[in-house]
Amino acid sequence: MTVVSQVKQTLASLKGVQGTLRLYSTQTRDKETESVFLEALETTEAIIQDLEKRIQVLEFQEPQYKGN
Amino acid sequence: MQLWMQVLIRSLSLFILIIFLARILGKRNIARVPPYRFIIYHVLAIIAALISVNVIPNLVNGLIAIGVWVIFSIAVDYLSMKSKWFHDLIHGKETVLIKHGKIMEENLQKERLTGEELLRELRYKDAFNLADVEFAVLENTGDINVFLKSDKKPVTPHDLSIKVAPQAEPQTVILDGNILNEPLASLGLNREWLCIQLENMGVSLDNVFLGQVDSSGDLYLDLFDDAIELPQPKVKEMVYANIEKSQANLMTFALETEDKEAKAMYTKNAEKLKELMEKLEPYLLR
């Protein structure tokens, strides 16, 4: 497995985590819990953006693996 | 009128009357009432029984007696709500039996309690060892309540300084195969949501005996058919595991890459995820 695809996999699983956290932030009935989940959403969002940027760089460097 | 007819009619009407009066007399734990209430309940029961089997032939007299006992009982309740003095007069005050770990013998004597009785009551409260008891009080209902020494109390998350997520009470949304609309609406959910959840779990509504939604919004089901193994919600644990896995991946990337900038980025984000894991742990795992 190439580096790009590994990073992409991690990105995908983080996006999955984000989706579930978003679900819980809406369906929880406790205000404090909700704010913790929302905060977690922001953190994961920042990491996802960093990873996406990194994937662009990697794909630029190794265009032969693009799309993998 | 024949005697049996009389008994039948009296019994039927008293049955309804007494059920109604019991509702008026209020919600009390029958086993834990002050002695005066115990007497009121019994007097009412006896009068009703006597009228019912025609021992008190005059119906009006019997009903007057019941009325007096009920009205005075309610009046006493109201007066003790309004006046502390009256409350103490009727209910009496609780008696301290153990203070600072020492038995107050004179109070024990005043209440005509023997040492054996005290020890038995303490054992009911799981305090077999008198040395564990800091404080004990005899309530006016006759119960003895025990305050244990602080090092003998059960451990709470607070004692262990563990953070736990706050939880609200679960709401029952399905009972006996019927959807309960009111609790569902109070959660801000609707029937469609419930139907989708049931479909995801692959069960039909008539097979569900009980369904509860916990405070994080997960649905727990109990089915009529106990042979069906139902996957209980483990979504939160999965999320936590996924975060953990991503964190480990980022660490690996940081080690593998030779690009300095990328290394810094991976390390920073791995640390961020580590912090996030610590923060979310009470909410996802506990």
- ipTM given for this complex: 0.88
Residue A25 included in any domain: yes
Residue A41 forms part of a structural domain = yes
Q: Are B171 and B187 in contact (CB under 8 A)?
A: yes
Q: How far is A46 from chain B (nearest CA, A)?
A: 9
Of B242, B265, B283, which is closest to A13 when you measure between CB atoms? B242
* Residue boundaries of the structural domains of chain B: 3-89, 95-152, 171-229, 236-284
pLDDT digit string (tens) for chain B, length 286 residues: 788 888 898 899 999 999 999 888 888 878 888 888 889 999 999 999 999 888 888 888 989 999 999 999 999 989 999 999 998 888 888 899 999 999 999 999 998 999 899 999 999 988 899 999 999 999 888 889 999 998 888 899 888 888 888 888 888 999 998 899 898 888 888 888 888 888 988 888 888 999 998 888 888 888 888 887 777 767 888 889 999 999 999 999 999 888 888 889 999 999 999 999 988 888 888 7
All residues at 6 or more sequence positions from A44 whose CB lies less than 8 Å from its CB, including other chains? A14, A17, A18, A21, B276
CB A14 within 8 Å of CB B246: yes
Taking the Cβ of residue B46 and every Cβ of chain A, the question of whether any pair is shorter than 8 Å is answered with no
Q: Which residues contact B166 (CB under 8 A, 6 or more apart)?
A: A30, A32, A33, B215
pLDDT of residue A68: 58
Beta-carbon neighbour count of residue B61 at 10 Å? 12
Chain A contact set for B276 (CB, 8 A) = 40, 43-44
Instruction: Quote the pLDDT of residue B24.
Output: 87
Q: Hey, what CATH topology would domain B171-229 get?
A: CRO Repressor (3.30.240)
User: Same topology for domains B95-152 and B171-229, yes or no?
Assistant: yes
Would residue A3 count as lying in a domain? Answer: no
Helix (H, G, I), strand (E, B) or coil at B12: helix
| A22-65 pLDDT tens trace | 988 888 888 888 899 999 999 999 999 999 998 888 888 877 76
pLDDT at A1: 64
Residues of B in contact with A21 (CB under 8 A): 239
B269 touches chain A (CB under 8 A): yes
Q: Is residue A26 part of a domain?
A: yes
Question: Band of the pLDDT at A67, cuts 50, 70, 90?
Answer: low
To 10 degrees, the CA torsion angle through B190, B192, B196, B202? Answer: 100
Domains held by chain A: number: 1
Residue A12 touches partner B, C-beta closer than 8 Å: no
Q: Is A35 part of any domain?
A: yes
Look up the domain containing A41 and give its range: 15-59
Q: Which tokens in the block code for residue B14?
A: 């008293």
Residue of A nearest to B282 (CA): A33
B 183-202 residues with CB below 8 A of A?
187
User: Which residues of chain B from 228 to 247 reach within 8 Å of chain A, CB to CB?
Assistant: 235-236, 238-239, 242-243, 245-246
Q: 3.30.450.40, 3.40.50.300, 3.40.50.2020, 3.30.240.20: which CATH number matches B95-152?
A: 3.30.240.20
Question: Does A36 lie at the interface with B, CB-CB under 8 angstroms?
Answer: yes
